[in-house]
Amino acid sequence: MGANDVSMIKAAHIGVGISGQEGMQAMLNSDFAFSQFCYLQRLLLVHGRWSYNRMCKFLSYFFYKNFVFTLVHFWYAFFNGFSAQAVYDTWFITCYNLIYTSLPVLGLSLFEQDVNETWSLHFPELYIPGQHNLYFNKKEFVKCLIHGIYSSFVLFFVPMGTIYNSERSDGKDISDIQTFCLIVQTSLIWMVTVQIALKTTYWTMISHFFIWGSLGFYFCILFFLYSDGLCLMFPSIFQFLGVARNTMNQSQIWLSLILSVILCVIPAFGYQFLQPLVWPVNVDKVFDRINHCKTRPPQVRVRTKLKHPSLRRSAYAFSHKQGFGALITSGKTTKTKPNKKNSFPVKK
């Protein structure tokens, strides 16, 4: 496009330039540039749609995990005399957003797809949610907040109920602050992991690695931070000596963990199933149809070979000289090249 279109491109939310015969001005000022106008279809319906999807999932999940993380302190305040005593180990607070939960979110925002590119192109209606701001708006944010409040409630009161006035299996202490911190931390990590697992609909090997790997990494770091060596070297910084070892072998801790995770996840799980059923939007019908087609692949029409007694070709032969008639009736000039199917986004 020409230089007079530059102002139009700059004024738009997303300016797309097409490199062509009229110079590079438009391209240099645009957000996206490509060489053929038909690529716009893929840009919008496939990549644009995926990008919107990923962004919305990322945002709602990120807000959710931080709400759960923080609001537990609200519930604890009623029991610690409003002293702002933290429910987590200080190292956990540092590492939570940086190490334990960063990779899964990254994986979600890089690889997530709701439907693959073929279906995206086949059903342009799937683009409508982006236009109507359907996947992340004030209502979605409020849902996220409510889910976070509920999860933090469960995350605090289930461990509290477990250790309240209770002991270990050998009678020793279990209701100390360090054990409580450990239980709440571990339940939180499991809970947000299961939540992102529910949100991910496109599981590549990398997604598996990021999600389950982060969980395993949490346990490795946990045992490292609470090990004898480190705590004895820096006693004022690492104070949780022996807590992991002494607590993780108690079955009531694991039972409490399972209970809090299931309790948090059930509402989201049920809602995710119920919403397209009872309050469907147009997009849900499309998804329904896509899944219907996926589970029941269309009947492949068996092409019956047309049997000819002899291969007929239509051909006109004008012969001004002897010999060309044979060339034309041999059929070589009427054969068509087979259609090559390729899914390159660039090649036509």
State yes or no: residue 2 binds another protein (CB under 8 A).
Answer: no
Interface region with another protein, contact rule CB under 8 A, candidates 56-64, 129-137, 140-148, 164-172: 164-172
80 versus 319: smaller Cβ distance to another protein: 80
User: Distance of CA 253 to CAs 73, 104, 179, 259, 265, Å?
Assistant: 20, 25, 10, 10, 18
List, as one string, the DSSP characters of 72-128: HHHHHHTTTTT----SS-HHHHHHIIIIITHHHHHHHHHH--SS-HHHHHH-GGGGH
- At closest approach, how far in Å is the CB of 263 from another protein? 6
Q: Which long-range contacts (CB under 8 A, 24 or more apart) does 277-281 make?
A: 281/129, 281/134
- At closest approach, how far in Å is the CB of 174 from another protein? 6
Q: Kindly give, in sequence order, each residue whose CB lies less than 8 Å from that of residue 69, ignoring residues fewer than 6 positions away.
A: 96, 188
Q: List the interface residues with another protein, window 303-342 (CB under 8 A).
A: none
116 versus 330: smaller Cβ distance to another protein: 116
**Selection from 226, 153, 222, 225 nearest residue 191 by Cα:** 153
The answer to whether 211 and 104 are in contact (CB under 8 A) is yes
State yes or no: residue 347 binds another protein (CB under 8 A).
Answer: yes
Q: What H or E segment, with its residue span, contains residue 34?
A: strand 32-34
Out of 12, 14, 24, 326, the only residue in the binding site for another protein (CB under 8 A) is 24
State yes or no: residue 172 binds another protein (CB under 8 A).
Answer: yes
236 versus 304: smaller Cβ distance to another protein: 236
State yes or no: residue 344 binds another protein (CB under 8 A).
Answer: yes
State yes or no: residue 176 binds another protein (CB under 8 A).
Answer: yes
- At closest approach, how far in Å is the CB of 143 from another protein? 17
Out of 29, 66, 97, 113, the only residue in the binding site for another protein (CB under 8 A) is 113
Site string for another protein, 129-148 (x = CB under 8 A): --------------------
The token duo for 167 is 């002991």
Out of 98, 205, 220, 311, the only residue in the binding site for another protein (CB under 8 A) is 205
The region that residue 331 occupies, defined by phi over 0 for left and psi between -120 and 50 for alpha, beta otherwise, is left
Q: List the interface residues with another protein, window 47-86 (CB under 8 A).
A: 50, 79-81
Q: List the interface residues with another protein, window 250-279 (CB under 8 A).
A: 250-252, 255-256, 259, 262-263, 266, 269-270, 272-274, 277-278
Interface region with another protein, contact rule CB under 8 A, candidates 172-180, 211-219, 318-326, 329-337: 172-180
214/192 Cα distance (integer angstroms): 11
When computed from its CA atoms, the radius of gyration of the chain, rounded to whole angstroms, is: 31
Tell me how many residues contact another protein (CB under 8 A).
Answer: 82
State yes or no: residue 31 binds another protein (CB under 8 A).
Answer: no
Out of 37, 74, 141, 203, the only residue in the binding site for another protein (CB under 8 A) is 203
- At closest approach, how far in Å is the CB of 106 from another protein? 15
- At closest approach, how far in Å is the CB of 41 from another protein? 15
State yes or no: residue 190 binds another protein (CB under 8 A).
Answer: no
List, as one string, the DSSP characters of 266-286: HHHHHHHHHHHHHS--HHHHH
State yes or no: residue 41 binds another protein (CB under 8 A).
Answer: no
State yes or no: residue 168 binds another protein (CB under 8 A).
Answer: yes
**Backbone phi, then psi, for 20, in 5-degree steps?**
-165, -145
State yes or no: residue 179 binds another protein (CB under 8 A).
Answer: yes
- At closest approach, how far in Å is the CB of 225 from another protein? 14
7/5 Cα distance (integer angstroms): 6
**Selection from 58, 53, 220, 45 nearest residue 125 by Cα:** 45
- At closest approach, how far in Å is the CB of 166 from another protein? 4
The token duo for 102 is 């960063």
190/184 Cα distance (integer angstroms): 10
